[in-house]
A and B are shown apart, each in its own frame.
Chain A
């Protein structure tokens, strides 16, 4: 049984069915890429996996490490070892990055983390992600540039050490340096901690820095094509339209 098993997932929001039967299996230590055109349901899948209240699961199930979490609260999923790096990270004024990280780490533990241990972990994560130490005393995402927000997401991921992380278009809006830092951060967490990742992206460019073993193409709420990294190259050559024609996606439903 895979660590994360998504079975026949149907999801509605605002009276519309966005996901129409998604099956996906992800294990720790595996890097998956989920690609698809705008409106195919990629972000819906990401938010649904973490339990966003606006998305209603009408059919199917999500099982994580043997537990059915289809109905679980978002924080319970996080504590179990899932993580979502947001496409648009939210600013939390008045709370420093470091304090927020400490709260998040303590939420997963019975005993609060020792100051020294926390500092060591933070120092390690800071080096991994090439951010300034002063960064951690700034208020979380408040006034951050796009690149800083995404780095803060990966910093949190590094500190919380999830089993499986979903990265929702983490590459969008990043310049090449930030993109490389973020991508290398993911790759190192995979190599060092055995992180499993589902990298959701519209573009191919992040996949030049992180090498996925599995690639899934989502169209109109269904995974229509799966394969290895060669799929990325094919997409680059042919674009989504070719695949859509081949696999009978329904363009009229894509928003």
Chain B
């Protein structure tokens, strides 16, 4: 599996880490960030210590980022009081929010990080005997240094903005999962990041490797207690699938009602004839910025990139999702759905990028949104950048409101208005939820959507009257 650089880009997104990019507040305009993480990441043979050092310099030289979204609005992390936060590595026990939220179900393994420390690791013994590794990333560097160093930061940069640099410089704990060649695992590996109190800066770092023809599931949970005060999760996630590997990756994110900031970069690289189904369910967080990238890196790779989001109250969500094709033939299928209540704002920017030489790529991006509140706002911005001529790439989408005719229809069957709204919104998300193909996780997502609807009941009523 190679990571041949593909087309240098105009600015720091394709740095090799040697020269940190100067990042000034307000300069992170869309135009300069609007491209994939094409090319090599920061891991270019440097040691972990060297990478941390380079990231530290970038951290010190930069301000908290602001993303200006031309014609729309800004995502600013400058209201975060970063100096007041601490990265605690002394943690005891699994936070209650984890035991409360995660379904009680068979699993292949579980790793839990609370604040800055890994507090639980368990792995099915039979899998361990077959060479599966699940441990903290710190431990992985100590015990499997060669393997980890080969892949760490293979495609992730470390210096595009202050929080990315902070993660690369300061991460502790972390998660490492390796599924060796030919190992097929039915039950999910659970990777959990939890914040149980304000004042925490959590730098989550995950590396997952799927060996040739391995098959497995990863369920990530990002959870926080409902608290008052600020906390930060700055995350970096990378997953690489080697020849013929298949992975179903799901993420259940609910940072609760506290003032939790989440700025994360996630990269999934699909190797030759490999396949990844990736579905983040972004269901809560004060201010969430996600840079998500699913890349077909070698011939025959295929992917399904799904996602759903539901913002409420004053939450702010900014998703930049890339369907990247570096070579062909390759397949892609991006399908996101989102809604918003209260005075929340959500922006989904979806990009299909087909690099030169990625011939015979076929991909499609669709984004559907539904308005549930007069003061909420959802923007969906699809883009297609194609540099090959024998491809098909298109996008589509819908912007919907609650259909009063459908509500009346259901009322004439005896459902009251809130029940009818529930049916509509559940039906709106259902095509994606059903794709999780995991009953316990599906139910968790459905329940969370219902909770959010129940909380927004008055809001939804008011919207109906205002129309």
Contacts and interface: CB of A to CB of B under 8 A. Distances in A.
A53 B409 contact: no
Contact of A90 (B409, B414, B415, B430): B409
Given A75-B416, A103-B419, A107-B419, A139 B427 contact: yes
Of the candidates B406, B409, B417, the one having the most CB atoms from chain A within 10 angstroms of its own CB is: B409
Interface in A201-251: none
Contacts of B415: 75, 103-104, 107
A100 interface: yes
9 contacts: A50-B408, A50-B411, A75-B417, A89-B409, A92-B406, A92-B424, A94-B429, A95-B430, A107-B415
A22 B26 CA distance: 67
Contacts of A78: 411-414
Interface stretch (A12-20, A29-37, A79-87): A79-87
B423 A74 contact: no
Nearest to B428: A94
B117 to A, nearest CB: 41
A79 B416 CA distance: 10
Top 9 nearest A-B pairs (CB, nearest first) are A94-B427, A94-B430, A74-B411, A107-B414, A78-B414, A104-B413, A90-B409, A75-B411, A90-B406
A89 B413 CA distance: 12
Interface residues of A, number: 29
A112 interface: no
B405 interface: yes
A73 B411 contact: yes
Interface in B409-444: 409-417, 419, 423-424, 426-431
B426 A95 contact: yes
Given A90-B406, A94-B431, A103-B419, A84 B424 contact: no
B125 interface: no
A181 interface: no
Of the candidates A78, A89, A94, the one having the most CB atoms from chain B within 10 angstroms of its own CB is: A94
Contacts of A53: 404, 408
Contacts of A198: none
Contacts of B412: 50, 74-75, 77-78, 82-84, 86
Contacts of A156: 413
Given A73-B417, A107-B419, 11 more contacts: A53-B404, A77-B412, A78-B412, A78-B414, A90-B406, A93-B428, A100-B413, A103-B415, A104-B414, A139-B427, A160-B414
B417 A92 contact: no
B403 A90 contact: yes
Nearest to B403: A90
A108 interface: yes
A124 interface: no
Contacts of A52: 408
A75 B409 CA distance: 10
B423 A95 contact: yes
Interface in A6-60: 50-53
Contacts of A93: 427-428, 430-431
A55 B429 CA distance: 32
A164 to B, nearest CB: 13
A44 to B, nearest CB: 14
A90 B413 CA distance: 12
